[in-house]
Structure 1
Amino acid sequence: MMNLLRLQSRRLKWLPINMSVRNLVSWEPMGEPLPGYTVVLACMKRLAPLAAANLRLCARQDCPRMSEMILVFDCPVGDVPAGVLDAVREVAPSIKVRLVGYGERQDEVARRFNWGWVYSWLSWSLAIGQTRTRAMIIHDLDAMPIYPGLFERLYDNWLEEGAEFCGICPYQRNFVTKEMALVATYEMTLDAAYLREKFRPFDLLNKFRLVDGRLVNFDTLLNPQWLSPRRSRAERPIDETWLVHPSLVIGNYIDLVSRRKNFLGVDHSLPVLPYFLYLGGDGDSLAAAGPQLAVPWARSVTVFGHEMGIDGIVPEHWAWMEKQIRRLEQALFGETRPEVKDYLRGFISRAGEHRTVGVETGATAVADR
């Protein structure tokens, strides 16, 4: 009875969103698909340097079967920042890029709610409706590919499995259990033709259901997985060194700048974001946050125009974030650049004895350089 009441409460809370977005996107069944696969990157205008950095990393991929890359921006195409347009022109010899933007009504609704779930659902739905290949890879904005054969491997895994949803790891949050066999969306390869034939865009939005008596929040794209046969889902893990991906960075950034959360007492990966933006040519947040992170007693830092709590980040996570930043630096530049080393001072002191850089051995170790 209690979970039934909670279910009704959650659905009531989501009612304004559901009513506003129900008919915000539409699509038609796919005609004759093009061969190969499409890579989709859902982008934010506010994080344009991150989109530029990610795009340049994607251009380093060896991807002969990629049909195109679709960048979906949370604004009209005419408002996409110049830095992104420069990056698109720069990578043109390597990959074909198509820009997709929100329509006026879509832009208004997304800005009104200013919530990561709405942005991800809207951007991915637009991409699914636009893609011309059956296979579509959802590449997260905060996921930086290192291994040059990543996208080709994801596509091969999808072909070999013959599943409509082929992910690299299980989804196990919001009371979704391993036994439910749902896969996470990041770096997922899905069958866009299947979704356009069997589901409406609204079906991809978060849904709340009772499963075996417990309340389950089906995150974006989990609902169609759950409503599809078990054989439609497959999990094919990848090597951790292939990708630098501090999960939930984009959603947490939105929560921070919308004042929904201040992250005091919370473990999170937002300190990686200034570095990602620096990769895209914007060093302001790196310069602002670095000295604050280095203050041993600081419980928060002021970054992105807001106070962000760091007191809940555990030492092991500071160590993990340093490792990811250095892994990407060394993949791109052969070593960690001086200004990035300086930014990492606070990470190192906060990790303490849990630091792994230069300590671990084996295939996944990262050197202290």
Structure 2
Amino acid sequence: MAVIADPHHLRFSKVRLRHALLRALLMPMCSWSELANPSQGYSLVLAVPVKLRELLPANLRFLARQDRVHLEKLYIVLDQPASRELRTFADDMTRRFPELPMQFLHFNHLQTLVLDAIGWGWAYGWLSWCLGLAACQSRYMMIHDLDLLTLTPDFLEKRYRKMRDENLQYLGMEHFIWNGVNLQDRVMPSNQLMVETSFIRQQFQPIDLFSRIVPHRGRWVHFDLTQHMQTCCGKADVLPFAFMDMVHPAQMISHYTALLTKKLPALCAQFAAADPVLPFAC
């Protein structure tokens, strides 16, 4: 937090430079057009690292138990180009869960090359969610985590109804406090964030959803994925989750990516300041 608070700190300058370079690399990776006539339901986008694809059936099994009256599409984004092996995997998932309206999307070769070179879980997540938003034809879309298992049957529909009935552009589960962001900023984390697709694609470009380090209300703030756009325009609210709504092994995917890229010790140190329990899990 001290690094964020002091814009003259050398480490702060390095972090800002690194983010500027990342944004320059990622900007050409995805684009979208405005969505003029969306259908009135909602879709989910689920980012799936190919090396963790065997976890997907567990998530789908719980989604299949949900009340899905207004669910139009489940976009499953794999972080590698399409191949015979991955097509076989997609066919198997479709056969095992025919009740789910799945559509598989893939990184192309250039996206895979750039994202693998970056080797950061947040960048994989950003591109996966943006590819889902670019493909989405429904009015609303929710970012659904691979390691989040929905328990109560109305978890999805309850959030959809609140978005629709209150004409919201963003709906999250809680407010975010981290890296200079405080409760007064009223921004929400990306996990299970539901957005109005047509609004997002009209007001923003994909790179606007990436993390940003910017001055905000007289201080420097490091906004995580999807957070900066929440401060720009649109109506937002929170629908808190109950203890029995879901099971979510937090940071599982992020830690896995960091482990593969040998960044896990640094990641654990980053979270230790906020959660002293985490280093023991690492």
**Offset, 1:263:** 7.5
Q: 1:157 aligns with which of 143, 162, 170?
A: 162
TM-score (norm 1): 0.68
Q: 1:37 aligns with which of 18, 39, 42?
A: 42
- Following the alignment from structure 1 to structure 2, what is the Cα–Cα distance between the partners of residues 245 and 266? 21
Q: 1:102 aligns with which of 73, 85, 107?
A: 107
TM-aligned CA distance change 1:59 to 1:265, over 3 Å: closer
SS of alignment partner, residue 8 of structure 2: helix
**Offset, 1:267:** 10
The one-letter amino acid paired with 1:87 is: M
Is 1:25 paired with 2:44?
no
**Offset, 1:24:** 1.1
2:97 matched to which residue of 1?
Answer: 91
Aligned pairs for 1:45-194 (under 5 A) are: 45-78=50-83, 80=86, 82-92=88-98, 94-194=99-199
Is 1:217 paired with 2:211?
no
Q: Indicate conservation of the 8 Å contact 2:189/2:224, yes or no.
A: no
Q: Deviations over 1:327-360 (max 9, x none)?
A: xxxxxxxxxxxxxxxxxxxxxxxxxxxxxxxxxx
- Following the alignment from structure 2 to structure 1, what is the Cα–Cα distance between the partners of residues 149 and 60? 9
The one-letter amino acid paired with 2:93 is: A
- Following the alignment from structure 2 to structure 1, what is the Cα–Cα distance between the partners of residues 116 and 228? 24
Of 189-198 and 158-167, more deviation after overlay is shown by 158-167
TM-aligned CA distance change 1:142 to 1:263, over 3 Å: farther
Q: List alignment gaps of at least 5 residues for structure 2.
A: 272-276
Is 1:312 paired with 2:276?
no
- Following the alignment from structure 1 to structure 2, what is the Cα–Cα distance between the partners of residues 221 and 119? 14
1:233 matched to which residue of 2?
Answer: 236
Q: Indicate conservation of the 8 Å contact 2:133/2:197, yes or no.
A: yes
**Offset, 1:264:** 10
| Higher RCO structure (Cα 8 Å, ≥6 apart) | 2
**Offset, 1:213:** 4.2
1:260 matched to which residue of 2?
Answer: 263
Of 130-139 and 5-14, more deviation after overlay is shown by 5-14
- Following the alignment from structure 2 to structure 1, what is the Cα–Cα distance between the partners of residues 196 and 62? 25
TM-score (norm 2): 0.88
Q: List alignment gaps of at least 5 residues for structure 1.
A: 269-308, 315-369
Q: Indicate conservation of the 8 Å contact 1:168/1:237, yes or no.
A: yes
TM-aligned CA distance change 1:200 to 1:310, over 3 Å: closer
The one-letter amino acid paired with 2:44 is: V
Of 19-28 and 78-87, more deviation after overlay is shown by 78-87
**Offset, 1:12:** 0.9
**Offset, 1:247:** 1.9
How many equivalent pairs are there?
271
SS of alignment partner, residue 231 of structure 2: helix
Of 104-113 and 209-218, more deviation after overlay is shown by 209-218
**Offset, 1:174:** 1.7
TM-aligned CA distance change 1:161 to 1:23, over 3 Å: same
- Following the alignment from structure 1 to structure 2, what is the Cα–Cα distance between the partners of residues 189 and 128? 11
Q: Indicate conservation of the 8 Å contact 1:209/1:216, yes or no.
A: yes
- Following the alignment from structure 2 to structure 1, what is the Cα–Cα distance between the partners of residues 130 and 261? 23
The one-letter amino acid paired with 1:69 is: L
